[in-house]
Amino acid sequence: MNTLPDNPYVLLTPGPLSTSKGVKAVMLRDWCTWDDDYNGIVQQIRARLVELAGGGDYTAVLMQGSGTFSVEATVGTVVPADGKLLVVANGHYGDRIAKIAERLRMNHALLDLGEVGRAEPAAVGEALDADPAITHVAVVHCETTTGMLNPVREIGAEVKRRGLTYIIDAMSSFGGIPMNLDELGCDYLVSSANKCIQGVPGFGFVVARRAELEKCEGNARSLSLDLYHQWHEMEHKNGKWRYTSPTHVVRAFAQALGELEEEGGVEARFRRYTDNHRTLVDGMRKLGFSCLLPDEWQSPVITSFMNPDHPEYDFRRFYGELKSRGWVIYPGKVTSADTFRIGNIGDVTPQGMGELIHAVGESMYWNHKE
């Protein structure tokens, strides 16, 4: 079992997720935001993020708040007033990027592929050819609405072939799926502390092509979400944040980065997540559950399952049965299908996923005879 004595359950969600004892423990110390020791940790984190992204002429900037704060900071800073953003959406989080652009009164277009439609590169290319005003393209790598993994490399080829700026929301994939930003053609990657690197909630981060970010001074539509000035402060003042930073969370993230390295890096974590996913799907299918997506579209991060077609089934009761046995899953987010979701990331192993399958079998009350 993966639970700690003071943890009543394992979080099988796409973040927040179950974290290690080491990550929790380092948050017991207080840190001063102006202290050189703390700012040195920030600088180490920034350098390590660039390494994880494949190195090259990239830089990293941390931003307070949830991952959405970093997405909004990126979109609101890097698309200039005379630019136009194409949002490629096949789920809730792609739609959220479009909502951000709408709220910012930004010139944008939405390529809506539906919740279970894959973001095919050819469709993106056609949309770009149809609208020469587009300057920037944004897509979600792992769309956690369904668990779909979009082909960001192939989409990137379409974007860069036309000389446009490419933004990837890798919220639920960075640190858990190997990637090289330069090979993807990515100019801006956005992710969060509490996803595959297995830290805790409190800040997000952007890994940006330095030459592109340097062009963005004066673009931002927000004071606190000005990505350029946040980066400029960290870059020229040794890791200092413009406003109060989440010190405990930053220290926990540094610990999580160390634990990622101890595990063997992103490749090793990807193998564990893939094994978690395989154990989960095989076990759930044996119990009679079916997946929403085809296997070839599925990420190893989170999986959507169809709710059982049984008159006595109720998700809230099923959720409660599992929670009482030490496991917390996620409700579905697809409007066109009746689903629930189970995450494969965090401080959980294939053995733990096997224990989950046993708990699911015990929790299938609608199949049990009184």
Q: What is the pLDDT of residue 15?
A: 80
In a domain, 350, yes or no: yes
Task: Please give the residue that has the higher pLDDT: either 258 or 336.
Answer: 258
Same-domain status, 302 and 272:
yes
In a domain, 149, yes or no: yes
Per-residue confidence (pLDDT) for residue 88, from 0 to 100: 98
Extract the tokens encoding 353. 């996923």
Residue pair 66/192 in contact by the 8 Å Cβ criterion: yes
Span of 2-11, 23-32, 43-52 with lowest mean pLDDT: 2-11
φ, ψ of residue 287 in degrees (nearest 5): -85, -5
Pick 368 or 45 by higher pLDDT: 45
Least confidently predicted of 164-173, 223-232, 360-369: 360-369
Confidence of residue 6 (pLDDT cuts 50, 70, 90): low
The fraction of the chain above a pLDDT of 90, given in percent, is 92
Residue 223: its pLDDT value, please? 97
For residues 173 and 55, state if they share a domain: yes
What's the pLDDT tens digit per position in 10-20?
A: 999 888 899 99
| CB contact at 8 A, 65 and 241 | no
Q: Is residue 335 very low, low, confident or very high in pLDDT (cuts 50, 70, 90)?
A: confident
In a domain, 230, yes or no: yes
CATH number, domain of 337, equals 3.90.1150.10
Angle between helices 350-363 and 315-324 (to 10 degrees): 120
For every residue of 137-164, DSSP letters joined together read EEEESEETTTTEE--HHHHHHHHHHTT-
In a domain, 336, yes or no: yes
Q: Which residues does 69 contact at the CB level (< 8 Å), separation at least 6?
A: 63, 204, 225
pLDDT at 1: 39
Pair of tokens at residue 129: 């050819």
- Answer yes or no: is 5 within a domain: no
Count of structural domains within the chain: 2
Q: Mean of the per-residue pLDDT values for the chain?
A: 95
By the 8 A CB rule, do 203 and 245 touch? yes
| Confidence (pLDDT) at 333 | 86
309 CB neighbour count, 10 Å cutoff: 8
DSSP 8-state class, residue 111:
E
71/213 same-domain check? yes
Whether residue 345 sits in one domain with residue 212: no
Cα 5 to Cα 321: distance, rounded to the nearest angstrom: 20
203, 232, 261 — which closes off a domain? 261
As a whole number of angstroms, the distance between CA 198 and CA 193 comes to 7
Query: 108 and 162 share a domain?
Result: yes
Residue 24 falls within a domain, yes or no? no
Give the pLDDT confidence of 129-167 residue by residue, as tens digits.
999 999 999 999 999 999 999 999 999 999 999 999 999
* 146 neighbors 293 (Cβ within 8 angstroms): yes
pLDDT of residue 336: 85
Residue where a domain stops, chosen among 212, 241, 261: 261
Cis check: omega of the bond before 16, within 30 degrees of 0: yes
pLDDT, one tens digit per residue, over 40-95 is 999 999 999 999 999 999 999 999 999 999 999 999 999 999 999 999 999 999 99
Other C-beta atoms closer than 10 Å to the C-beta of 283 total 17
- What does the pLDDT read at residue 199? 97
**What's the CATH number where 248 sits?**
3.40.640.10
How far is residue 207's CA from residue 2's CA, in Å, rounded to a whole number? Answer: 32
Domain termination site, one of 202, 227, 261: 261
Is there a single domain that holds both residue 175 and residue 293? no
Structure confidence at residue 7 as a pLDDT band (50, 70, 90): confident
pLDDT band of 355, cuts 50, 70, 90: very high
Is there a single domain that holds both residue 74 and residue 214? Answer: yes
C-alpha Rg value of the chain to the nearest Å:
21
> Please, which pLDDT band fits residue 362 given cuts at 50, 70 and 90?
very high
Using an 8 Å Cβ cutoff, are 113 and 90 in contact? yes
Do residues 270 and 225 both lie within one domain?
Answer: no
Distant-in-sequence, close-in-space partners of 161: CB < 8 Å, separation ≥ 6: 125
- Are 205 and 328 in a shared domain? no
Structural domain includes residue 22: no
Residues 209 and 291 in one domain: no
pLDDT of 175-213, one tens digit each? 999 999 999 999 999 999 999 999 999 999 999 999 999
Write out pLDDT tens, residues 83-112: 999 999 999 999 999 999 999 999 999 999
pLDDT in tens, 269-307: 999 999 999 999 999 999 999 999 999 999 999 999 999
| Whether residues 151 and 290 fall in one domain | no
For the segment 308-317, the average pLDDT, to the nearest whole number, is 95
Contact call for residues 259 and 22 (beta carbons, < 8 A) = yes
What is the span of the domain harbouring residue 214?
30-261
Q: Report yes or no on 233 lying in a domain.
A: yes
What is the spatial distance between Cα 216 and Cα 79, in angstroms, rounded to a whole number?
8
Same domain membership, residue 289 and residue 189 = no
**Quick one: pLDDT at residue 4?**
43
SS (H, E, C) 12-66: CCCCCCCCCHHHHHHHHCCCCCCCHHHHHHHHHHHHHHHHHCCCCCEEEEEEECC
